[in-house]
Chains A and B, each alone.
Chain A
Amino acid sequence: MTKKRVMFSPVTRLEGLLSVEVFLDGNKVANANASATAFRGFEWIMRNRHVTDAVYMTQRICGICSTAHGAVASYLLDELYDNNLSENAQLLRNIMYASDIIQNHIRHFYLFSLPITCACRIARPFTGKNF
């Protein structure tokens, strides 16, 4: 039986770009490749910068979970500088991080996951008109 190649691209409603390539052997998936096709080289961009820049720079990695990147960078800076964080400051950070997670879930469910279950698959977004 010959292998059939299915290219699924673009995968929409997610942050960044994604393509999935599936090889079918009859009715079974024989192989699958997912490729995230955007590269900016943040590992290189972060080099040779002042360490405190990390809090703001790493937030630019991802627009959806920027707070997570910023929070981790600030935790690392605390260790590096031996900071004594007051309890309130820690609570504030936790609240910020928690709100980030909450808004992520809301957006992901209603905006990014829900359209696939609706009948608007081939409709243009939000207008209901077809070409």
Chain B
Amino acid sequence: MDKEKFTWLCRNLANRNDHVLSKAILQEVKSFQTVHHNKKLPVIWIETNDSGDNNIAFLNSTYPYAGKVFSEMIDLLYSNSFMAAQGEEALNILEKTTGILKGQFTLVVEGAVPLNHNGLYNVIIRTANRNITALEAVTQLGKLAKYVVAMGTCASFGGVSSARPNITGSVSVRDVLTRDIINISGCPVNPDWFVGTLAHLLMYGPPELDNLGRPTLFYGFTVHRHCQRRSYFDKGDFAKRLGDIECMFSLGCMGPRTGADCPYRQWINYVNWPVRANTPCIGCTNKDFPDGSSPFFAPLNEKSSGKDMNNKHNSPLKGDK
């Protein structure tokens, strides 16, 4: 199957409930692997300043299951969360594999990179005589990797780790490395966005990216565009309080300026997503999340305008005491 057809399938079958898309794609991956001698994507997965939410969200992958991703799709060389080895063994594996697979592995960075105090706010490994900081690991491994994938909003844009006042000086992976980086933003990422991007890297190479470096396949349209409550918005019917059935634009929904496919892809094994669960979108895939989205329950025009704003907003929440 060529890339165009693959993309077309992803776009058009995504909102079907009977998992037609997954079935189509899994078969495709399987036949690709048979032709290519079970080629797998070598992955080194570094966890930096984040909450570990992305790897937990990734475990929610169901089509294919996370176990299948590990055993058939990727060749996980190092991961703080998933690897069996620990201590010195883990460090040895990291050193050896980066040497052997130089220029071949995919570096997945999960989390922002703190710069203050030479990056000492995040030490990924301590050896007997020194600390290996996230800054050092990301810059060194970033030079050797074939692809760099920034997983989650912290790694892509700084996210919550770099929210004001940002005393650790956390920045995104893009600010540390001078090379092409695939951003998969989201707090956390939807497993499909991550697994889908890895599959694309494996079969077709780097995917088409938008102006923020994210795959257009998943971030091409705003949440607002496909929202189930869009008709309420068009008619000007707005919710007055959480739990109302109308459009939650009035309650701070970030949907109109958030690129993601949540309304039809949905979360937790394709069951639900924030707006259907009666809570406004907080724009977690955005470049200015969370400062640009806060206060979360204030309408768009009353939100603070991003990371430069310092303590300027004063509780515009409706019904506030």
Cβ of B13 within 8 Å of any chain A Cβ, yes or no, is no
Distance to closest chain A CB from B127 (angstroms) = 7
Q: Which of A5, A9, A60, A126 contacts B187 (CB 8 A)?
A: A60
Contacts of B93 in A (CB 8 A): 122, 124, 131
**Shortest CB distance A114–B (Å):** 9
A21 within 8 A of B: yes
Contact of A125 among B83, B282, B290, B313 (CB under 8 A): B83
Residue picked from B87, B168, B295, most chain A C-beta under 10 Å? B87
* In the assembled complex, A28 has its CB within 8 A of some CB on chain B: no
Contacts A21-B126, A131-B100: A10 and B56 contacting too (C-beta < 8 A)?
Answer: no
Which one of B139-147, B157-165, B259-267 is at the A interface? B157-165
User: Which of A16, A81, A122, A123 touches B52 (beta carbons < 8 Å)?
Assistant: A16
Would you call B84 and A120 a contact (CB within 8 A)?
yes
Q: Interface size for chain A: under 10, 10 to 19, 20 to 34, or 35 or more residues?
A: 35 or more
Judged by a CB distance under 8 angstroms, whether B123 is at the interface is yes
- Asked if B298 CB lies within 8 Å of chain A CBs, one says yes
Determine the residue in chain B with the shortest Cβ distance to A46.
B163
Picked from B88, B90, B168, the residue with its CB within 8 Å of the CB of A39 is: B168
B82 touches A13 (CB 8 A): yes
How many Å from the CB of A82 to the closest CB on chain B? Answer: 9
In the complex, are the beta carbons of B90 and A12 less than 8 A apart? yes
Residues of B within 8 Å of A107, CB to CB, are: 56, 59
B86 within 8 A of A: yes
Tell me which residues across on chain B come within 8 A of A131, comparing CB atoms: 93, 96-97, 100
- In the complex, identify which listed stretch (B71-79, B190-198, B200-208) lies at the interface while the others stay far away: B71-79
Contact of B295 with A49 in the complex, beta carbons under 8 Å: yes
Q: How far is the CA of A107 from the CA of B71 in the complex (A)?
A: 18
In the bound complex, CA of A27 to CA of B160 (Å)? 45
Give the shortest distance, in Å, between B214 (CB) and chain A (any CB): 20
A40 vs B125: C-alpha distance when bound (angstroms)? 17
Contact A123 B71 (CB under 8 A): no
Nearest-Cβ distance from residue A88 to partner chain B, whole angstroms: 12
List B contacts of A9 (CB < 8 A). 87, 91, 125-127
B124 part of interface (Cβ distance < 8 Å): yes
B77 to chain A, nearest CB (A): 6
CA gap between A37 and B127 in the complex, in Å: 13
Q: Nearest chain A CB to B187's CB is how many angstroms away?
A: 7
Given A45-B163, A56-B296, A124-B76, A35 and B84 touching (CB < 8 A)?
no
Nearest Cβ on chain A to B290's Cβ, whole angstroms: 7
Say which residue of B75, B82, B97, B126 sits within 8 Å of A111 (CB atoms).
B82
Task: Tell which of B77, B124, B167, B313 touches A41, judged by Cβ atoms closer than 8 Å.
Answer: B167
Q: Could you tell me if A125 and B84 are in contact, using CB atoms closer than 8 angstroms?
A: yes
| Closest chain B residue to A9, Cβ basis | B126
A40 near B168 (CB under 8 angstroms)? yes
Report if A85 contacts B (CB, 8 A). no
A45 to B110, CA, bound (A): 20
Which A22-70 residues have a C-beta within 8 angstroms of B?
Answer: 35, 37-41, 44-45, 47-53, 56-57, 60-64, 66
A–B pairs, 15, beta carbons within 8 Å: A10-B126, A11-B86, A12-B84, A16-B47, A17-B47, A39-B114, A41-B167, A45-B165, A50-B294, A53-B295, A63-B188, A66-B53, A111-B59, A123-B85, A126-B67
Which B residues contact A (CB, under 8 angstroms)?
47-57, 59, 67, 70-71, 75-77, 79-91, 93, 96-97, 100, 114, 121-128, 131, 160-161, 163-168, 170, 187-188, 282, 290, 294-298, 311, 313, 315, 317, 321
8 nearest CB pairs, A to B: A63-B53, A50-B295, A37-B123, A115-B84, A63-B52, A126-B70, A9-B126, A19-B126
